[in-house]
Structure 1
C-alpha cells in the first residue's frame, strides 16, 4: 500500500506547485513583485506530509477501484493549498517565528522590508503581506476544487464541493474559538476548560485534517449517504487523535523534527487539552506558575522545562496519551464496522497509525 500512497503524494506535490504557477500566470505582467509575493508560499508548499491529500485518496478507494488520478489529485491539491493558507494565517495570529524549519511567511516579508530599508513598520508590513498571501492561497484552493468538481462529473462533483465548502467555513469558526479561548481569564472549573479545549480541537483541526478530506474523496467517487456517514464516524475520532498528538508535539517535540522551537505552544498560550488536563491536576504553586507563565512571549527554556515537568509529574501527559489511544481505538472500531473493501481498509489503517504515532 505504501507505493500507492507515495505515488499520490508525489502527484499532489507536483500539482500544488504547478497550480501556484498556472493560476497566477494571468498576473505575470506584474513582474518581480509577483515572484516576491509567491516565494514564501512556494517554500511552504514544497514540503509537508500531504496527509490530507492521502486521506482524500483513501476516501476515493472506499467508493471506487479507479486509479488515484484526475479529480483525486486536484482535490488533494485544493486541500494542500487550503492547508497552506491556514498555516500562513495561523502563524500571523500566533506570531510564530518559524514554520517547517523556515521563517514564517510574515517574518520573511518583514525581513525583506527591513533589509531594503523601506518606510513604515517592518512587522506591520510582514503581517499584511502574509494575510493577503493566505487569501491568495484560499482562492487558488477554491479554483483547484472547482477543477476537481468538474472532473468528477455532475453527480459526484457538486456533493464533494459542498463538503469542501463546509470545511472551509468550519475552520474559520474553529480559529475564532481558539483565539477566544486564549483571551478568556483562567477559571477554576477544570471540566469546562477541558470541554472548551476539545471543542476547539474538533472545529479547528480534527474535522478538516481528517474527516473532511476522507469524506471529500469518497464523495468525488460517488459514495452514497451510508458510506459517507460511516467514513465520518472513522474520521472524526482519528482527527481528534491527530490534533491531540500535534498539541503534545507543540510542547515536547524535537525542533529538528517539528520545525518549530520546543515549547512554542506554551509561549503562544494555546489552551490545549493537555494544558487543561495539567491545570486539573496541578497543586497551588504549580498551578499558579502555569497560569502566570503560559502565554508569556519571553518564556525561557528553563521555564519551558519546568512546565514540561509539571505536565509529566501531575499525570497529565499520561492521561493525554490515554485519550489519544482512546480516540485512535474509536476510529479503528468505526473502521471495522464500516466493512470497507480490503484495499481501502488497509490504506486507512496505515494512515490511522501515521496520524497518531508521528513525531512531526
Structure 2
C-alpha cells in the first residue's frame, strides 16, 4: 500500500467550558491514502467534525485547544506549521465542504466572486477574467444550470442544493490532494442529496483527491466509502474496509449502528435503537466509554475498568473492544431476534 497522504496521530482536542473540560477528540489516530474515500461515522458529538476542524486549524481558541498529537500532511505536521503556510494549504491542497453552505458562504458577495477569490488567492498571477472563466467552468462541472447567470447571483438567490454545489466547486477549484466533506447533504431532501453526492463523486474522480466523508448516514458510507472509521465518545472504536464494517463489525457500537438501521425486509412498528445515551464528554465513564450501553460487555469488570486499545482484528481492521471476538456471535443473535420479530409481524 502507498504512503498515506494524511495521517492523524494521537490527536486530542479539548474545549474549556464553565462546566468543565470537554474532551471532544481523545487520542484519535487514522490514515488517509491517495485516491481513497475514508468514511467517518458516529453519533452527534462523537468528534467527527472537530477532527476535521482540527486538521484545518480552524479550532477557535479560546475555548478550544489542541493538546496533543500530530497531523501529518505529506510528512509535514500541520499542528506545528507556520500560520501563513497553513493558510496556503487550506483551499489549495486541502479542500473543505462545510455542513451548511448558507452560513459558510458570504451573504454579501456573489457566488462567483467567492469562487474567483478562492482561485486568485492561491494564484496571484490569475487575472479577474481568467478567474471568472474558470469559476464558470467549475459551476458547469458541478451541474449548476445557467452558470454564467448564477455566477453573479448571491447565495440567498440559490436553492440549498445549488449552494452546496457552489461549495463543492469552491472546494475543488485548486485541484486539492485532500477533500473533506463534512455532512455534505445535511438539510437537503432525498432527491437533492442524491444529486449532490453524484456531483461530489464526479468531482473526486476528476481531481483524484483523497476524500474524507463525514456523516451519520450509513447509507452514504455503504455507497461511497472504501474504508470506515467509527467514532464514539471522541475516540476511534473501529477501523475497517467498508465491506467488513457492514458484513462483520467487530465493535459492539458498530453492531448497534447496524441494528438500528431501517430495513425493507422487516415490517416493525419501531426501530431497535442503542439503549442509553451518548457519554458525557466532560466526565467519561471509566474503562470502555461504551460499556454502559453495550450488549457484549454484560457488566464484566475488564470493560468497566480498562480502556481498550485498538486491537488488530485481521485484514488490516482494528476494534477497541476487549471482547471483539464475541461480536460476530452477538450479531447472529441480533439477526435471529430480527427474524423472529419479522415472523411475528406477519410480514
More strand by share: 2
- TM-score of the pair, normalised by structure 1: 0.27
More helix by share: 1
